[in-house]
Amino acid sequence: MTTYKLFVLPGDGIGPEIMAEAEKIAAWLTSAGIVGFEIEQGLVGGAAYDVHGTAISDADMARAEAADAVLLAAVGGPKWDGVPYEVRPEAGLLRLRKDLALFANLRPAICYPALADASSLKREIIEGLDLMIVRELTGGVYFGEPKQIIDLGNGQKRAIDTQVYDTYEIERIGRVAFELARKRRNKVASSEKRNVMKSGVLWNEVITALHARDYPDVQLEHHLADSLGMQLVRRPKQFDVIVTDNLFGDMLSDVAAMLTGSLGMLPSASLGERNAKTGARKALYEPVHGSAPDIAGKGLANPIAMIGSLGMALRYSFDLNDVADRIDRAISGVLDKGLRTADIAGAGKETISTAQMGDAILAELQSSL
């Protein structure tokens, strides 16, 4: 059994509660001889600030660099509202993404049959939805220079943001999308605005050439980003993998996420470049949601996004698709049995706690062997 080094960052708020449930699953996978995990724990966000006065220590950054994968729960909350900007909890997350050079953000939107009625869309439009948004995370308008506000001196100011993409940045995110599609339904929808943006023209050109050269077996479509937004709400099941830039990806992934109902259900992965020799890549797995300070410490949080993030680590860092599939089926199975944390229960319905949900998923997983 290969052993993988997992660096675990529970963070603050509901973070420690949901991470405990993912760790339960990881510990069982190891004790059952299915996947070997060597788990180290560190501090991030408010939890790190309270101890070190910084959002993540250099020592923990080094452990994140050395790990095979990093699992993070959530950070942030009103308790740290007054702390200096550079050491606020969110700065820990940003440093991890930046120092590990995580350029590819993967956000699946899956509709579990048992929860199809939680969506704001009709059941027939949403049931069976399984799409993946691949968002470029380290380039584009969020980072391009110049980025400034200039005082024009006549009572007017001018704000400038710059969208910049180089060929290699588009190519490497394109590769992630095409490779994912090959393991799924073999379809990629690439999205930009080539009608009004030069970066869109280049994006389209590079993706088209990459496809012709290395991935002709994958079905490729191009959509203008605004039109894709409409299609996502109108007929979301037409999509398999969607690849897009940082800005459009930010918006489209939030839209896709909400198609499925609750925030507590949504995992994500952020991947770095593959090591040319070993094929290994840096990776961070985390729920899409935040630290939910309103329900922290009460055993109310839904651990499914966190457990799903562990599942994504198995799939995308360790190539253990069969084990990841089993985790997904265990989650689905528990939902089919009607077990619900408060966020997905609906008013007046019976609910279970964070730990009970973790236990139920573990039991379902054990019985699937």
Active-site residue set: 142, 193, 226, 250, 254
Q: How far is the CB of 100 from ligand NAI (least distance, A)?
A: 15
Q: What single DSSP character describes residue 54?
A: S
What track of x and - describes contact with Mg ion for positions 248 through 277 (by CB under 5 A)? --x---x-----------------------
Strands of the chain, DSSP E:
3-11, 36-41, 69-74, 104-110, 130-136, 148-151, 157-160, 187-192, 219-224, 241-244, 267-274, 281-287
Report what 206 binds from ligand NAI, Mg ion, none; CB cut-off 5-8 Å by kind. Answer: none
Can you name the residues that pair with 159 across neighbouring β-strands? 149
Q: Does 330 bind ligand NAI (CB under 6 A)?
A: no
Can you name the residues that pair with 271 across neighbouring β-strands? 104, 283
Is 108 known to sit in a ligand binding site?
Answer: no
State whether residue 205 is helix, strand or coil. Answer: helix
Residue in 21, 240, 343, 364 binding ligand NAI, rule: CB under 6 A:
343
DSSP strand pairing (281-287 vs 69-74): parallel
First to last CA, the chain: 17
Q: Which amino acid is at 103?
A: F
Report what 77 binds from ligand NAI, Mg ion, none; CB cut-off 5-8 Å by kind. Answer: ligand NAI
Report what 364 binds from Mg ion, ligand NAI, none; CB cut-off 5-8 Å by kind. Answer: none
What track of x and - describes contact with ligand NAI for positions 61 through 80 (by CB under 6 A)? -------------xxxx---
Is 182 known to sit in a ligand binding site?
Answer: no
Nearer to ligand NAI, 253 or 302 (CB): 302
Binding segment (CB under 6 A) for ligand NAI, from list 32-40, 109-117, 286-294, 358-366: 286-294
Q: What is the widest separation between alpha-carbon atoms in the chain?
A: 72
Contact 75, 92 (CB under 8 A): yes
Report the distance separating Cα 271 and Cα 69, nearest Å. Answer: 10
What track of x and - describes contact with ligand NAI for positions 75 through 104 (by CB under 6 A)? xxx------------x--x-----------
DSSP strand pairing (267-274 vs 219-224): unpaired
Nearer to Mg ion, 200 or 290 (CB): 290
Contact 71, 22 (CB under 8 A): yes
Number of residues that bind Mg ion (CB under 5 A): 2
Is 107 known to sit in a ligand binding site?
Answer: yes
Q: Does 205 bind ligand NAI (CB under 6 A)?
A: no
Is 308 known to sit in a ligand binding site?
Answer: no
Q: How far is the CB of 196 from ligand NAI (least distance, A)?
A: 30
Q: Does 293 bind ligand NAI (CB under 6 A)?
A: yes
Q: How far is the CB of 286 from Mg ion (least distance, A)?
A: 13
Is 82 known to sit in a ligand binding site?
Answer: yes
Is 75 known to sit in a ligand binding site?
Answer: no
Report the distance separating Cα 87 and Cα 95, nearest Å. Answer: 10
Q: How far is CA 256 from the centre of its chain?
A: 12
Q: How far is the CB of 254 from Mg ion (least distance, A)?
A: 5
Q: How far is the CB of 78 from ligand NAI (least distance, A)?
A: 7
Binding segment (CB under 5 A) for Mg ion, from list 8-16, 178-186, 244-252, 258-266: 244-252
Is 13 known to sit in a ligand binding site?
Answer: no
Instruction: Report CA-CA distances (Å) from 197 to 103, 138, 243.
Output: 21, 19, 17
Contact 70, 312 (CB under 8 A): no
> Which helix H or strand E contains 102, and what residues bound it?
none
Report the distance separating Cα 306 and Cα 308, nearest Å. Answer: 5
Q: Which residues bind ligand NAI (CB under 6 A)?
A: 14, 18, 74-77, 90, 93, 263-264, 286, 289-295, 301-302, 305, 343
